[in-house]
């Protein structure tokens, strides 16, 4: 068990925005949420995030994630930030993991490995080797053992050539953190209190310090500007797309496939360009996804064809369905096997039975449709009376003519036929009956002439 301290009190001035950079979305959720989720998977005893007094929106998000909040009154460096969290430590002897709040992609696997190092050491520093180490504090070693961390502005010319750098990740025993934080001085160019100085203090007091080397720099890359944000997100989602490509999914262009959540794909799936996947999405085998589609919290079955420009959100698409193009499937919808949903059709909070077809220009909301139904073009379920939503039920083997309006609550019983252009307000008898509900047709002769007479 360990405690996590996340440092997030910076002013985020380089983001040129009116909110903390920790709130900016990356790969489908806020930066801070990625970090919190990874730590919570490792069962951190408690999580403390250090913020500044202006971070009201950030505080609300942290509380919703059950994260404790500490305020850094004086923004005077990372040591000051860590010190602000000490009063919230729930135990005095547990390990403490300190993370940067702007590095979203640290993995649970790495977190476990770093904290495990404290079984034999007093502290562990996360490091990484970079081809271009500019901007990072350098790891100074003697006989392969770490002796200190020097911030770049304080390095010598030789030290600047060192490629192993500090990631900002430190695991340390809580009693030592509490004991030595107050000994850190601001004897540096920026006159800040650097948390990294605690490593030299520990070593000088004969404490055992080790390192954990990250092999994937994506895990420790931070966001300081919107340029950083965009570049880091592109690297992250490109890697996820390329991984799927390597494992058998045909992704036509990984650079134009945005996987912002968890995408699970079975074999022989094809994904065309410009598709976006958010939250949790699963796709069954032999399914084809056309270009420009959006998926969020949905399950797609086997042998499904999603045609271009389709939106599917919070829904389940069973096997052998055809959906789109330009269809919108909204939350709470379930398409049973072999359903066809065509162009410019919107379905919301409805169940569509097997082999039913809704092929053109229709709205189906708050409805339950049976099997083997044909919904004609332009059909609408009128589900809202201005105050409440009502349900439409269409039983199996029915035929709904084009341009029909079904005013809920209403039931179309099994085997019903509805004449095109009808407005149905009462239940139909079913059993092969034909219901026609149209106003009497009236033609007014020379109506146009009357309207334009004297218009000059």
Cα–Cα distances in Å, from 234 out to 9, 14, 293?
Answer: 26, 20, 18
Neighbours of 3 (CB within 10 A): 23
Helix (H, G, I), strand (E, B) or coil at 382: strand
Q: Annotate 147-210 with DSSP letters as a single string.
A: EEEE-GGG--HHHHT--EEEEEEEEEEHHHHHHHGGG----STT----TTHHHHHHHHTT--EE
Separation CA 442–CA 246 (nearest Å): 66
The secondary structure of residue 389, as a DSSP letter, is B
Separation CA 74–CA 124 (nearest Å): 27
The secondary structure of residue 354, as a DSSP letter, is T
Separation CA 392–CA 353 (nearest Å): 14
Cα–Cα distances in Å, from 345 out to 292, 301, 340?
Answer: 16, 20, 10
Which of these is catalytic: 207, 291, 305, 360? 360
Strand pairing of 334-335 and 209-214? unpaired
Phi and psi at 239, nearest 5°, equal -65, -40
The residues pairing with 51 across neighbouring beta strands, listed in sequence order, are 71
The secondary structure of residue 24, as a DSSP letter, is S
Active site annotation includes 207: no
Separation CA 127–CA 399 (nearest Å): 67
Smallest Cα–Cα separation from 210: which of 108, 143, 114? 114
Neighbours of 160 (CB within 10 A): 12
Q: Annotate 227-289 with DSSP letters as a single string.
A: HHHHHHHHHHHHHHHHHHHHTT-EES-GGGEEE-SEEEE-SS-EE-SSEEEEEEEEE-TT-EE
Helix (H, G, I), strand (E, B) or coil at 40: helix
Q: If phi over 0 gives left and psi between -120 and 50 gives alpha, with beta otherwise, what is residue 196?
A: alpha
H-state helical runs in 65-107: 78-84
Separation CA 144–CA 346 (nearest Å): 64
**Active-site residues: which are they?**
360
């Amino acid at each position: 068990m360990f405690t996590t301290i996340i440092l997030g009190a910076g002013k985020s001035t380089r983001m040129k925005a009116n909110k903390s950079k920790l709130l900016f979305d990356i790969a489908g959720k806020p930066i801070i949420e990625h970090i919190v989720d990874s730590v919570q998977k490792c069962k951190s005893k408690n999580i403390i995030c250090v913020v500044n007094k202006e971070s009201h929106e950030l505080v609300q998000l942290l509380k919703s994630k059950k994260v404790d909040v500490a305020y850094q009154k004086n923004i005077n460096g990372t040591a000051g930030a860590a010190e602000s969290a000490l009063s919230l430590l729930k135990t005095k002897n547990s390990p403490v993991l300190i993370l940067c709040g702007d590095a979203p992609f640290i993995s649970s696997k790495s977190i476990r490995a770093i904290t495990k190092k404290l079984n034999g050491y007093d502290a562990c520093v996360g490091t990484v080797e970079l081809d271009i180490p500019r901007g990072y504090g350098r790891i100074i070693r003697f006989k392969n053992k770490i002796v200190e961390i020097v911030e770049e502005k304080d390095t010598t010319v030789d030290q600047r050539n060192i490629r192993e750098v500090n990631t900002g990740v430190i695991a340390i025993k809580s009693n030592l953190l509490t004991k030595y934080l107050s000994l850190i001085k601001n004897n540096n160019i920026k006159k800040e209190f650097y948390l990294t100085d605690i490593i030299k203090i520990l070593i000088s007091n004969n404490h055992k310090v080790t390192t954990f080397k990250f092999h994937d720099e994506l895990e420790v890359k931070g966001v300081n500007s919107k340029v950083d944000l965009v570049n880091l997100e592109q690297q992250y989602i490109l890697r996820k797309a390329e991984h799927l490509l390597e494992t058998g999914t045909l992704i036509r262009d990984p650079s134009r496939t945005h996987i912002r959540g968890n995408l699970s794909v079975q074999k022989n799936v094809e994904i065309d360009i410009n598709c976006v996947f958010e939250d949790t999405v699963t796709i069954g085998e032999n399914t084809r996804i056309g270009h420009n589609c959006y998926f969020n919290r949905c399950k797609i079955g086997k042998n499904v064809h999603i045609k271009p420009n389709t939106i599917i959100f919070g829904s389940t698409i069973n096997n052998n369905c055809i959906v789109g193009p330009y269809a919108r499937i909204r939350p709470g919808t379930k398409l049973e096997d072999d359903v066809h949903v065509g162009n410019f059709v919107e379905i919301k909070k409805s169940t569509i039975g097997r082999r039913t077809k809704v092929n053109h220009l229709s709205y189906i909301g708050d409805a339950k449709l049976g099997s083997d139904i044909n919904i004609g073009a332009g059909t609408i379920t009128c589900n809202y009376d201005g105050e409440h939503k009502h349900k439409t039920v269409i039983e199996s083997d029915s035929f709904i003519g084009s341009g029909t309006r079904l005013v809920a609550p209403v039931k179309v019983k099994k085997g019903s036929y509805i004449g095109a252009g009808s407005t149905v307000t009462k239940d139909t008898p079913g059993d092969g009956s034909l219901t026609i509900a149209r106003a009497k047709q009236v033609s007014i002769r020379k109506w146009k002439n009357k309207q334009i007479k004297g218009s000059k």
